[in-house]
């Protein structure tokens, strides 16, 4: 077994304590699903972990019926997200995607915030949350910033968070009619994820997993030329699940079927 190097533990009772503690060598820690293996491989060597699991402000799931949003704390696990009745009611596509993240063990401990902040491109939640128009609240001791998901995630394994910031929550508008999420997956992470919001007027297409970060296009319904340009312009990854051409073919086929534009 890989033995982890010596590690300090900061258990923050509230958000202010956590914000005072996090830093370059003090890593925010919740589910540990990504951080513990990364430490085992020597990719991350924090002096201490700042445990966020006891910070109540990061654990809520709250509905704003008037504003039509659900605010999800960053330390909410995938299992709690997928099993929560309010999420199932107002964000059914997100609940369904969360119920199929990784495997049943990852869903026990892995968190929404951890998933977004690790910024592994092959993620379902980033794609679905971008499609839903979610807003991330990011805090430091100095104040708050509010970011779209594609402003939070800026590249593969890269976010716009500074070392003294913590992702607090994501606020997600209620799911619009005509939304779907589909993924191609043969290993523990998705190869390609596609979130669609299709109405009589508009096609909103969000592609994730095969791109460095989730990428969204808003097209007039029926704009097949614009859709083709979007698909052709995507920079798709080349990895053990297949080359870019293969992923682009699968993406085209899925879109033709889902949008009813089969040639």
Partner 1 sequence: MTGSQAPTSTVVRCHVNGRDVEMLVPVRLTVAELLRDRLGLTGTKVSCEMQVCGVCTVLVDGNPVSSCATLACDLDGTEVLTVEGLARGRDLHPVQEAFMSANALQCGFCTPGFIMMAVGLLDTHPDADQADIREWMDGNLCRCTGYEPIETAVTVAASGLAAATAEAGR
Measured from the CB atom, the residue of 26 and 139 that comes closer to partner 1 is 26
Instruction: Find, among 186, 237, 238, 198, the residue nearest to 215 by Cα.
Output: 237
- Least distance from C-beta 2 to partner 1, angstroms? 6
Segment 186 to 215, residues that bind partner 1, using CB under 8 A: 188
Does the footprint of partner 1 cover residue 21 (CB under 8 A)?
yes
Does the footprint of partner 1 cover residue 144 (CB under 8 A)?
no
Question: Phi, psi at residue 109, to the nearest 5°?
Answer: -115, -30
Residues in the chain: 263
Measured from the CB atom, the residue of 81 and 134 that comes closer to partner 1 is 81
Segment 65 to 124, residues that bind partner 1, using CB under 8 A: 79, 100, 102-106, 108-109
- Least distance from C-beta 185 to partner 1, angstroms? 10
How distant is the alpha carbon of residue 196 from its chain centre? 16
Instruction: Find, among 149, 142, 140, the residue nearest to 112 by Cα.
Output: 149
Measured from the CB atom, the residue of 69 and 77 that comes closer to partner 1 is 77
Stretch that binds partner 1, among 40-48, 59-67, 116-124, 237-245 (CB under 8 A): 40-48
Burial of 262 (0-12, 13-18, 19+ CB in 10 A): exposed
Q: How distant, in Å, are the alpha carbons of 131, 166, 200, 256 from that of 178?
A: 12, 33, 9, 16
- Least distance from C-beta 119 to partner 1, angstroms? 17
- Least distance from C-beta 127 to partner 1, angstroms? 20
Does the footprint of partner 1 cover residue 15 (CB under 8 A)?
no
Is the separation of the CB atoms in 250 and 237 below 8 Å? no
Query: Percent helix, strand and coil across the chain, each rounded to 5?
Result: 30, 30, 40
Does the footprint of partner 1 cover residue 25 (CB under 8 A)?
yes
Segment 147 to 166, residues that bind partner 1, using CB under 8 A: none
- Least distance from C-beta 57 to partner 1, angstroms? 19
For residues 130 and 151, give the distance between their C-alpha atoms in angstroms, rounded to a whole number: 10
Does the footprint of partner 1 cover residue 258 (CB under 8 A)?
no
Does the footprint of partner 1 cover residue 44 (CB under 8 A)?
no
Q: Residues 48, 61, 63, 234: which binds partner 1 (CB under 8 A)?
A: 48
- Least distance from C-beta 191 to partner 1, angstroms? 15
For residues 33 and 21, give the distance between their C-alpha atoms in angstroms, rounded to a whole number: 21
245 Cβ contact partners less than 8 Å away, ≥ 6 residues apart: none
Segment holding 70, helix H or strand E: strand 69-73
- Least distance from C-beta 3 to partner 1, angstroms? 7
Residues of this chain that bind partner 1 (CB under 8 A) = 1-10, 20-21, 25-26, 32-33, 36-37, 40, 47-49, 51, 53, 79, 100, 102-106, 108-109, 188
């Amino acid at each position: 077994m890989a033995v982890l190097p010596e590690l300090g533990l900061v258990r923050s009772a509230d958000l202010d304590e956590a914000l005072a503690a996090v830093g370059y060598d003090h890593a925010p820690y919740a589910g540990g699903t990504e951080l513990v293996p990364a430490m085992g491989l020597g990719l991350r060597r924090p002096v201490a972990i700042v445990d966020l699991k006891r910070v109540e402000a990061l654990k809520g799931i709250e509905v704003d019926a008037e504003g039509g949003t659900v605010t999800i704390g960053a330390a909410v696990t995938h299992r709690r997200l997928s099993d929560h009745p309010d999420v199932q009611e107002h964000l059914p596509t997100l609940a369904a995607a969360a119920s199929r993240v990784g495997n049943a063990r990852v869903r026990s401990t892995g968190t929404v915030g951890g998933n977004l902040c690790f910024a592994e491109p092959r993620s379902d939640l980033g794609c679905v949350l971008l499609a839903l128009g979610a807003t991330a609240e990011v805090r430091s001791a100095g104040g708050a910033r509010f970011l779209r998901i594609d402003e939070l995630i800026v590249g593969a394994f890269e976010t716009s968070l500074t070392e003294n910031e913590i992702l607090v929550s994501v606020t997600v508008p209620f799911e619009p009619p005509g939304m779907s999420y589909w993924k191609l997956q043969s290993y523990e992470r998705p190869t390609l994820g596609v979130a669609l919001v299709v109405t009589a007027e508009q096609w909103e297409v969000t592609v994730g997993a095969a791109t460095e970060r989730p990428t969204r296009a808003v097209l007039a319904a029926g704009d097949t030329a614009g859709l083709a340009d979007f698909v052709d312009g995507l920079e798709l990854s080349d990895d053990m699940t297949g080359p870019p051409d293969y992923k682009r073919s699968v993406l085209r086929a899925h879109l033709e079927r889902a949008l009813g534009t089969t040639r």
